[in-house]
Structure 1
Amino acid sequence: MSRTPGKKAERKAPSQRAAEIASAARRLALEGGLSAVTLRAVAARAGVAPALVAHYEPNMDALVAETFATVVHAEIDAVSALIATEATARSRLAHLLSTLLDGSRTDVTVVWVDAWTLGRRNDALAARVRTEMDAWQAVIREIIECGVRLGEFETDDAAAVSWQILGMIDGLNAQALVRWGAATDRSLLLAHAVEGMLRLSRGSLPVG
């Protein structure tokens, strides 16, 4: 009995194939979290055999880690560009808080939550998580330090305040995944806490 040969993947340049695999992994992560980035799922999304994915990405832990970094870098770049147009440090901070808690980035929040969980057993991912947390903290710290220099904020430890703000953002967004509270409520809770940290009067950071 004759057999119909299976359809072979189109031959492409290694750089193009690697980019397609990375793109497939990123799309899977944004749709279903990092736990969705498996060998077979990436192969199916890229339209190739699992063996080909394994050829280009022999270490799936590394692919998951790189996928996480790609997603977070894109978010940092997008948010940084969005708030860069604000005229003052105070308005930049208010815009940052509103943007990160407006509920429009649930897909990225799921990626973060998965990263914290999977990073317990994936050392490459854990290292990436620490790096990207540092990157986000640096964004917030730069705004606060600018505000202190210009007399808009008061704090003796911009770095510590930045970590506290980042922790609250992460916690409130994680709570939003189980539909706790409205986006405006979460934004106000955070804004009032930050106003206290920076010795601002209530309502100085308009959000929502």
Structure 2
Amino acid sequence: MSRAVRPRAARKSPEERAAEIRAGAHDVALEGGLWAVTLRSVAARVGVTPALVAHYQPNMEVLVADTFTAVVAAEMAEVAGIIEPYSSPTDRLAALIHTLVETGRDDVTAVWLDGWSLGRRSAPLATAVRGQMDAWQHLVLGVVEAGCSTGEFTASDPQTVAWHLLGMVDGLSAQGLVSYRDPAARGRLITDALEHALGLPAGALASPESAPAPTPAPAP
């Protein structure tokens, strides 16, 4: 019986091949979670042999950790870009909350959940998860501290408020993966708690004002 012959992978530079493997792992993680990032799945996505993936990524724990970081850091950069145009800390916080609890982010939420679960037995992944949690804490803390400095917020402990917000977002987003309650109800739980913690009137975080349009670049 004849066997199917795998087409030979096109020759690429080591840098190109390594980047291709990282991109393949990234796509696999978003489609199937970190659990799905294996030698075989990444090789199949890229169209190479598992041995070639192993050559460029000899430690799969490190590849999974790096993939987690890439997925989560990309989302944080996106969210930072969404809230940056708002001049008011209250509107930035409202935009951040509503962006994170809206539908369409289940793939990244699943990667977070896998990171916490798999990180129990993987030191590289646990380190990556803690690093990204700290990065998110820093982003949220910046918004809360800005509101405190302008007098919009009255929190006595901005660090705790930021941690509180992230804990609620993480927990309620996880519940959303199994369609527990609707996104609007989950969002209200967060905004109601944050309004109380920050001394804001009820409804202040219900929705942000429209973000200002970007300033057009000057003509050359």
TM-score bracket, normalised by the shorter chain, equals over 0.9
Contact 2:91 2:207 (8 Å CA) reproduced? no
1:133-183 residue CA offsets vs partner (Å, 9 max, x unmatched): 000011100000000000100011101110011000000000001110111
Contact 1:89 1:152 (8 Å CA) reproduced? yes
**After TM superposition, where is structure 1 displaced by more than 4 Å over at least 4 residues in a row?**
1-6
Matched residues, percent identical? 50
Whichever residue aligns with residue 115 of structure 2, its letter is: A
Greater mean alpha carbon deviation, residues 149-158 or residues 4-13: 4-13
Per the alignment, do residues 28 and 3 of structure 1 end up closer, same or farther by CA in structure 2, a change over 3 Å counting?
A: closer
Distance in 1, matches of 2:198 and 2:54, equals 50
User: Which residue of the partner structure matches residue 205 of structure 1?
Assistant: 205
Distance in 2, matches of 1:42 and 1:185, equals 38
Contact 1:188 1:207 (8 Å CA) reproduced? no
What pairs up with 1:92-131 in 2 under 5 angstroms? Answer: 92-131=92-131
Per the alignment, do residues 2 and 103 of structure 1 end up closer, same or farther by CA in structure 2, a change over 3 Å counting?
A: closer
Q: CA RMSD in A?
A: 1.6
Contact 1:187 1:207 (8 Å CA) reproduced? no
How far apart are 1:2 and its partner, in Å?
A: 9.5
Contact 1:83 1:96 (8 Å CA) reproduced? yes
5+ residue gaps in structure 2? Answer: 209-220
User: Which residue of the partner structure matches residue 196 of structure 1?
Assistant: 196
Distance in 2, matches of 1:202 and 1:50, equals 56
1:110-137 residue CA offsets vs partner (Å, 9 max, x unmatched): 0000000000111100000000000001
**TM-score, normalised on structure 1?**
0.97
Per the alignment, do residues 55 and 181 of structure 1 end up closer, same or farther by CA in structure 2, a change over 3 Å counting?
A: same
5+ residue gaps in structure 1? Answer: none
User: Which residue of the partner structure matches residue 16 of structure 1?
Assistant: 16
User: Which residue of the partner structure matches residue 83 of structure 2?
Assistant: 83
Distance in 2, matches of 1:163 and 1:123, equals 23
User: Which residue of the partner structure matches residue 143 of structure 1?
Assistant: 143
What pairs up with 1:26-37 in 2 under 5 angstroms? Answer: 26-37=26-37
User: Which residue of the partner structure matches residue 173 of structure 2?
Assistant: 173
Per the alignment, do residues 111 and 6 of structure 1 end up closer, same or farther by CA in structure 2, a change over 3 Å counting?
A: closer
How far apart are 1:207 and its partner, in Å?
A: 3.4
Contact 2:43 2:53 (8 Å CA) reproduced? yes
1:5-42 residue CA offsets vs partner (Å, 9 max, x unmatched): 65321111000000000000000001111011011000
1:41-89 residue CA offsets vs partner (Å, 9 max, x unmatched): 0000000000000000000000000000000110010000011011200
**TM-score, normalised on structure 2?**
0.91
Distance in 2, matches of 1:63 and 1:77, equals 21
For the pair 1:38 / 2:38, whether they are aligned, the reply is: yes
Distance in 1, matches of 2:2 and 2:205, equals 73
User: Which residue of the partner structure matches residue 48 of structure 2?
Assistant: 48
Whichever residue aligns with residue 28 of structure 1, its letter is: V
Aligned length in residues? 208
For the pair 1:183 / 2:183, whether they are aligned, the reply is: yes
Distance in 2, matches of 1:193 and 1:154, equals 14
Per the alignment, do residues 4 and 87 of structure 1 end up closer, same or farther by CA in structure 2, a change over 3 Å counting?
A: closer
